[in-house]
Structure 1
Amino acid sequence: MEKTNKLGLWVLTALVVGNMVGSGIFMLPRTLAEVASPGGAMFAWIFTGFGVLVTALVFGNLAIRKPNLTGGPQIYAKELFKEGSQASILSGYMSTWGYWIGNFAGNVAIITTFAGYLSSFFPVLTSQAEWFTIGSLSLKVGNVLTFLVCTLLLWATHFIILRGLENAGKLNFAATATKVIGFFLFIVIGIFAFQKSNIVPFMAPHIDESGKSIGLLGQINHAAVATLWAFIGVESAVVFASRAKNQIDVKRATMLGLLIALAIYIGISTLVMGMLTQQELLHSDKPLIDAIAAVTGPIGGKCLAGLGLISLLGSTIGWVMLSAEVPYQAAKQGLFLPAFLRENQAGIPKFSLIISNGLAQLFIFSTISNSISDAFNFVITVATLSYLVPYFISSVFQVKLAWTGETYENQLKTRIIDGLVGLLSTLYSVWVIIAGTADMKTFLFGIGLLASGIFFYGKVKQNAAQKNPDQDQDQISA
């Protein structure tokens, strides 16, 4: 890797913060209001914050103990089985496939949120006027324009990244620094505008669409997937570990990025609930803008919308970079299709970038028939569940290392602590998977996307056999 493509501590930290504090901070206040009372939402944040903390510790620990395993948490799947065996290759490939799907699906959530905030300057993007009708499908003017804006942003980002990773990283850093400053100013304003009456009753039962009353535990379960989405991206520095100037920066960037994101999320999510009523939150496609506009007037709303656009632009760059990097790094270890190894002169995995963005484009078609908030809620559920598989695998791998003692020579105390951290992270991942798959439609769609990877496994297995011609063929035969 050329030096111009190496990433330093602050660029890596910006990737972590930029990828975490993306669409979630802008849309989640409404999403949470749909499934939980203020109390339920706050407890969901507490549980999620703890779960993500132990998961981040897992990532940081594995990055130090297994520095040769780069490209993201899904890579650890192959280490759960005998090296070179079919189980090792299949688990590594399928975990990468699921994580990759989560990446480009998550891109769409960010891009659709960008279109939602752009509507503050161009209200025509929310127009419900009918353009034309095809059969039972009625196309709205706003939906079609939103689709065009999302498509333009996706492919403009594509060409920015093709010009070089370091320049794209610096642009992401500038956008991240701007939004961090802006969000802390929002928190200062929100402290003075907070009204306790908007979060009363704090722990009331929540009534769902069918009229069923949901208690506190049920609210926490329903909010678990949405709150976890806010922290997806904590592993971003791990994904780019092979491109870091110094390996120690990977763990530092992960923990520093998590702490910055936690401060922003806790501050803003709490304050927005006190700045808008529950009904206002439920009917808002731009809850942060509506909250600040209620305090400072339209000018404040416009300023925050501009900040939102800068923030989401940086997040889009970071996530598109990550989407292309994941299958590229997996292919380097023989766990993905070899075509994904193709690079351009700047060292960018161009084939991976094209395919990732092409598939993201398919998800963007959801904006044609759905509102921005509906499209956002759908894709974050699918994407988050896709991420949970490699999160779970990483946690299990840490438990395995602690149990067997591998890399822990004469470190009994550290081994016990890391084993407990891995166990807690494993339990957290299982809890969110169970909560997120309660909806059968989402479960079946997610399983279908994951299972689709089987169609390409034969090529991956064949490539693995060619890389290891002396390997026992019983290990890699079907």
Structure 2
Amino acid sequence: MKRHQLGFWILTALVVGNMVGSGIFMLPRSLSEAASPAGVILAWAATGLGVLTLALVFGSLAVRKPELSGGPQIYAKELFREGSPGSLLAGFMSTWGYWIGNIAGFVAVITTFASYLSTFFPVLTSQKAWLTMGSFSLKAGNVLTFLVCSILLWGTHAICLNGMKSAGRLNLIATTIKVIGFALFIVIALFAFQQSNIGPFLAPRTGSGGEMLGLLSQVNGAAVATLWAFIGVESAMVFAARARRKLDIRRATIAGLVISLMLYVGISILTMGLLTQDQLMASQNPLVDGITTVLGPIGGKLLAGLGLISLLGSTIGWVLLSSEVPFQAAKLGVFLPSFAKENRQGMPKVSLWISNAVGQILLLSTISGSISAAFDFIIYIATLAYLVPYLIASIYNLKLVWTGETYSLRRERITEGIIAAAAAIYSLWVIVAGTANLKTFLLGLALIVSGVLIYPLLLRYRKIQSNTL
């Protein structure tokens, strides 16, 4: 079977499809709550530069260390002496946290899909009680939402088992439609833009404690709001082992980042010209509300349909990503060996089944609460799991620069050293800002540390393997 199936366009589609997922639809409202227009623009400038440094780090490492594939978390083991207990523990724990974070990510996308589907099928939000037991009430809308989410999950599972190339092509088609659709939104918004809606350009915002926030505080808050905008920029890097050419990984990462940032910045800023600041902050679906003011209800329905296509593509990309992470880690010896098993199409069958089974358990959160509550909970537990690997990759790149490994030119070492240092500083800043909330920090930490319960199984396997040899 041909292993290296993924070319530049499919890799780029994976980056764009995973970055431009569930977050783009609610981001304009989140940003308007966090900052004035001036703060939003400055936050995007900081985010764009920061994510660019990360993308350059990912691209460089993919070319310099092609044997280390499966995601940015895999470099944790390289920070310690090869074969040492510290190397094994770091590799396993970082992979564990990143893997669970990715599962939470695709569950968030699936629950958002159900939310948009309710635009066409309001029964998904029905409050009719089907069963009541004490204080617990099983509502019709929650049960139907759970069923829709489960069908989407296992339908995607079947597509992924059929092969990486076919799944990648479906994601490419969905991502192409998504990019064209959002580009049309930007064009329409440009013509319908009302400058009077965007003012005042610089205005204070109120914090959670009632304090007034100045411009710098607004930028910090808005940068946290864009946190989910760049999650997935490492997607091409995760599939490095399946790429036709290693150079395509770097190119796809940069191209995917540029396309995604153009869409995010264009949509978040132009939506401010379609709705007033008060309307934007009160909107539960700002993109749909914004386009409805221009094209009427039909325009809103069309955008909701585009959202469904967008989220379908993102679901495929995230499910592929989630299964690939432990699969590649297992092949490198830092995760449970059963995850390295493949089917005839070369797909990680065990990893797919277990990842999606865990996802199914997380989907149970839709049974007892609203879709938005389920989404918020999932985002809480995944934040730290995503950001720590970004910092690890930046530090490992700095290590290579310091030792000179894989470098032949001094100029390259200096340039990439500056980029890696900037990426590390940016990652650390977002980690501190994103986990300032104690609940977010503790849940994220618990997610990563929970791997300690599984780690003895890996040690046991390695002991048996060494005794056999």
TM over 0.5: yes
Residues 143 and 199 of structure 1, relative CA distance in 2, 3 Å threshold: farther
Helix, strand or coil for the counterpart of 1:26?
helix
Whether 1:24 and 2:33 are equivalent positions in the alignment is no
Q: 1:19 to 1:201 in 2, by over 3 A?
A: same
Equivalent in the alignment of 2:61: 62
* 1:239 partnered with 2:242: no
For each residue in 1:14-52, what CA deviation from the matched residue of structure 2 results, as whole angstroms up to 9, or x when unmatched?
A: 111111111121122223334333333332222111111
On the 8 A contact 1:29/1:281 being kept in 2, the answer is: yes
Q: Which amino acid aligns with 2:439?
A: K
Partner of 1:444: 442
Correspondent of 1:459 among 450, 457, 460: 457
Cα distance, 1:465 vs. partner?
Answer: 4.7
Take 2:222 and 2:136, find their aligned partners in 1: how far apart are those partners?
A: 31
Shift of 1:468: 6.0
Unaligned runs of 5+ in 2: none
> 1:133-164 CA distances to partner (integer Å, 9 max, x unpaired)?
33333444333322222121111111111111
Task: Tell whether 2:220 aligns with 1:216.
Answer: no
Contact 1:5 1:347 in 2 (8 A): no
2:109 aligns with 110
The structure-2 alpha-carbon separation of the partners of 1:358 and 1:223, relative to structure 1 and needing over 3 Å to count, comes to: farther
Mean alpha-carbon deviation: is it higher for 340-349 or for 138-147? 138-147
Task: Please state how far the C-alpha of 1:234 moved relative to its aligned partner.
Answer: 1.0
**Which residue of the other structure, out of 412, 417, 423, is the alignment partner of 1:425?**
423
- The AA in structure 1 aligned to 2:412 is T
1:304 CA drift (Å): 1.2
Q: Secondary structure at the match of 1:3?
A: coil
Paired letter, 1:248: L
What amino acid is aligned across from residue 14 of structure 1 in structure 2?
A
1:39 aligned to 2:65? Answer: no
Q: Give me the whole-angstrom Cα distance separating, in 2, the residues matched to 1:62 and 1:90.
A: 21
Q: Report what 2:182 is aligned to.
A: 183
Distance 1:74 1:190, change over 3 A: same
Alpha-carbon spacing, 1:468–1:26, altered in 2? closer, same or farther (3 Å): farther
Contact persistence 1:147–1:368 (CA under 8 A): yes
- Structure 1 residues 236-260: Cα deviation after superposition (integer angstroms, max 9, x where no partner): 1111111111221111111111111
Distance (whole Å) between structure 1 residues aligned to residue 295 and residue 87 of structure 2 = 57
Q: Figure out how many residues of one structure are paired with residues of the other and give that number.
A: 469
1:51 corresponding residue in structure 2: 50
**Offset of 1:212 from its aligned partner?**
3.4
Which has the larger displacement, 55-64 or 343-352?
343-352
Q: What is the DSSP-based 3-state SS (H/G/I as helix, E as strand, rest coil) of the residue aligned with 1:397? A: helix
Contact 2:380–2:443 under 8 Å retained in 1: no
Q: Which residue of 1 aligns with 2:344?
A: 345
Deviation at 1:342, TM superposition (A): 1.9
Aligned counterparts of 2:462 and 2:281: Cα–Cα separation in 1: 51
How far, CA to CA, are the matches of 1:154 and 1:258 in structure 2? 26
Shift in CA distance, 137/30, structure 1 to aligned 2, threshold 3 Å: farther
Q: Give yes or no for contact 2:13–2:175 (8 Å, CA) kept in 1.
A: yes
**Residue 148 to residue 197, structure 1, CA distance change in 2 (3 Å):** farther
Give the distance between the partners of 2:165 and 2:341, measured in 1 at CA.
19
Cα distance in structure 1, aligned partners of 2:209 and 2:370: 21
Q: TM-score, normalised by structure 2?
A: 0.95
Amino acid at match of 2:32: A
Deviations 1:101-135 (A, max 9, x none): 11011111211111121122112223344444333
Contact 2:48/2:261 (8 A) holds in 1: yes
Shift of 1:457: 1.1
Distance (Å, rounded) in 2 between the aligned partners of 1:369 and 1:208: 30
Percent identity between the two aligned chains: 63
Per the normalisation by structure 1, the TM-score is 0.93
1:423 to 1:252, Cα distance in 2 relative to 1, 3 A: same
Contact 1:17 1:257 in 2 (8 A): yes
Closer, same or farther in 2 for the Cα pair 1:272/1:376, shift >3 Å?
A: farther
Q: What does 1:294-333 align with in structure 2 at a 5 Å threshold?
A: 294-333=293-332
Cα 1:321–1:196 shift into 2, 3 Å: same
Is the contact made by 1:57 and 1:421 (CA closer than 8 Å) also made in structure 2? yes
Contact 2:54–2:394 (8 Å) recurs in 1: yes
Contact 1:190 1:271 in 2 (8 A): yes
Distance 1:173 1:81 in 2: 38
Q: 1:285 touches 1:372 (CA, 8 Å); kept in 2? A: no
* 2:113 partner amino acid: F
1:38/1:79 CA distance change after superposition, 3 Å: same
Inter-CA distance 11–120: structure 2 relative to 1 (3 Å threshold): same
RMSD value, Cα: 2.0
- Separation in 2, partners of 1:87, 1:130: 52
Instruction: Answer whether contact 1:198 1:276 (CA < 8 A) is retained.
Output: yes
Secondary structure of 2:347's counterpart equals coil
Aligned 1:127-166 pairs, distance under 5 A: 127-166=126-165
Work out whether residues 284 and 290 of structure 1, in 8 Å CA contact, stay in contact via their aligned partners in 2: yes
Amino acid at match of 2:417: G
The one-letter code sitting in structure 2 at the alignment partner of 1:312 is L
